[in-house]
């Protein structure tokens, strides 16, 4: 029994398969294997000791498996933290974009205020020109009134009524001139205020332009942070998947070791889990694997060899229980062939799920 087990491990090996884009589905059904030359109930002491020590190493592999699993779970937690960070980054980017839009609206409003102030100044200038015309006409009217008063004095009594009219015209011209002066003063004050408003708005617009540049730079920096965080998220997700799949590979090896342990200890009542119940099976048929890679060809190709490993292992135990060692040997050979295809497929899946920059 021990010699057979040793030969199987020697011929099959527990090595990492080369990463390829596809999984071998036509795995061989025969391997070089020596049929035991002595009854399984009387193994040689050397082989017995060697086999027992080899199988006892399962505890070390289990420890490594548990460490990898713990590491994978921590990476998944970190992935959740990164996911939350990316959500916050997206919210910050949206807020930054809204701020940028608001500053642009303020800038447009400030530009409009400048245009309004400029138009107001132009209107005030037009008013001032009109006031100057009023001053000029008032002076002319006043001069005309003086001339008319002189002419009225020359005609004596005949010009008395005209003199009264001249006085009224002179008084009216004086009042018009006075009001025109007041309007000119108010217009000057309005123009001065409008100029101050325009200068203030221009200063604000300069500040707004500076704010716009700062906001644009902050947005660009945030975009870079989001980009790097997204890439880091991909890396962590890929590493977490690698750790998990490496754990699955160790689970797979431990499952095979358990088959050999049952054979070594001659446990004729032993049973093994089916391909739906192991860690790989749960991940494959009902877990994250199906949700994430359900349509992936390499993922789908894992089903056949994985099921074959479990079927062959169970057949080997059943054949041993029936003392059919030829059938047991054939089943173990088939189990090892299918196992190699599973390891190869898992490595291929790991390689294909790496970010592009990380692929060799």
The tens digit of pLDDT for each residue in 174-198 reads 777 787 788 878 778 877 877 777 7
Most confident range, picked from 89-98, 322-331, 350-359: 322-331
pLDDT of residue 332: 92
**Which residues does 21 contact at the CB level (< 8 Å), separation at least 6?**
298, 348, 351, 352
Most confident range, picked from 33-47, 234-248, 338-352: 338-352
Mean pLDDT of the region 135-154: 74
CA distance 220 to 240: 30
CA distance 24 to 3: 29
Give the chain's mean pLDDT: 75
H-state helical runs in the chain: 2-12, 45-56, 58-155, 160-264, 279-285, 288-293, 297-300, 303-321, 325-352
Reported for 182-187, long-range contacts at CB under 8 A and 24+ positions apart, including other chains, are: 183/127, 183/131, 183/134, 184/128, 184/131, 184/132, 184/135, 187/124, 187/127, 187/128, 187/131
The CA-CA-CA angle for residues 82, 85, 86, to 5°, reads: 90
CA distance 2 to 260: 9
pLDDT of residue 355: 66
Higher-pLDDT residue of 99 and 299 is 299
Burial class of residue 35, CB neighbours in 10 A (0-12, 13-18, 19+): exposed
Which of these ranges, 74-83, 154-163, 169-178, has the smallest mean pLDDT? 154-163
Higher-pLDDT residue of 27 and 222 is 222
pLDDT at 301 over 90: yes
At residue 173, φ and ψ (nearest 5 deg) are -65, -40
CA distance 63 to 65: 5
pLDDT of residue 7: 54
pLDDT of residue 318: 93
pLDDT at 311 over 90: yes
CA distance 1 to 20: 35
Residue 289: C-alpha distances to residues 13, 20, 37, 235 (Å): 27, 19, 45, 18
pLDDT at 24 over 60: no
Mean pLDDT of the region 107-131: 80
**Which residues does 116 contact at the CB level (< 8 Å), separation at least 6?**
none
pLDDT 10s digits, 101-111? 888 888 888 78
pLDDT at 19 over 60: no
Most confident range, picked from 204-208, 225-229, 268-272, 338-342: 338-342
What DSSP state is assigned to residue 17?
P
pLDDT at 276 over 50: yes
pLDDT of residue 48: 61
pLDDT at 91 over 70: yes
Domains and their CATH numbers in the chain: 13-28+43-89+238-358 (1.20.120.30), 92-225 (1.10.287.950)
* Nearest partner of 253 among 313, 330, 320, judged by Cα: 313
């Amino acid at each position: 029994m021990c010699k057979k087990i040793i030969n199987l491990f020697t011929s099959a090996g527990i090595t990492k398969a080369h990463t390829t884009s596809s999984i071998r589905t036509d795995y061989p059904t025969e391997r070089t294997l020596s049929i035991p030359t002595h009854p399984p109930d009387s193994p040689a002491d050397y082989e017995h000791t060697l086999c027992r020590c080899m199988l006892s190493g399962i505890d070390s592999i289990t420890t490594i498996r548990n460490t990898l699993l713990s590491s994978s779970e921590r990476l998944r937690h970190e992935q959740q933290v990164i996911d939350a960070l990316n959500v916050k980054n997206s919210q910050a980017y949206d807020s930054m974009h809204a701020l940028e839009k608001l500053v642009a609206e303020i800038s447009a409003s400030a530009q409009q205020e400048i245009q309004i102030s400029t138009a107001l100044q132009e209107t005030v200038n037009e008013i001032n020109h009109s006031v100057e015309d009023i001053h000029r006409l008032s002076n002319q009217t006043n001069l005309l009134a003086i001339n008319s008063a002189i002419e009225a004095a020359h005609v004596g009594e005949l010009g008395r009524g005209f003199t009264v009219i001249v006085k009224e015209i002179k008084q009216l011209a004086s009042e018009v001139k006075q009001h025109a002066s007041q309007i000119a003063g108010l217009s000057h004050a309005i123009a001065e205020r409008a100029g101050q408003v325009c200068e203030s708005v221009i200063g604000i617009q300069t500040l707004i332009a500076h704010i716009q540049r700062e906001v644009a730079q902050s947005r660009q920096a945030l975009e870079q942070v989001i980009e790097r965080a997204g890439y880091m998220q991909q890396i962590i997700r890929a590493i977490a998947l690698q750790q998990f799949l490496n754990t699955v590979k160790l689970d797979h090896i431990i499952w095979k070791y358990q088959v050999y342990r049952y054979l070594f200890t001659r446990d004729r009542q032993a049973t093994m889990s089916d391909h739906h119940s192991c860690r790989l099976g749960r991940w494959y048929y009902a877990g994250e694997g199906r949700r994430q890679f359900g349509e992936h060809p390499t993922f789908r190709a894992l089903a056949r060899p994985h099921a074959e490993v479990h079927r062959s292992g169970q057949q080997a135990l059943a054949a041993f229980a029936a003392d059919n060692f030829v059938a047991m040997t054939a089943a173990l050979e088939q189990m090892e062939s299918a196992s190699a295809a599973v390891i190869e497929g898992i490595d291929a899946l790991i390689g294909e799920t790496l970010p592009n920059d990380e692929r060799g």
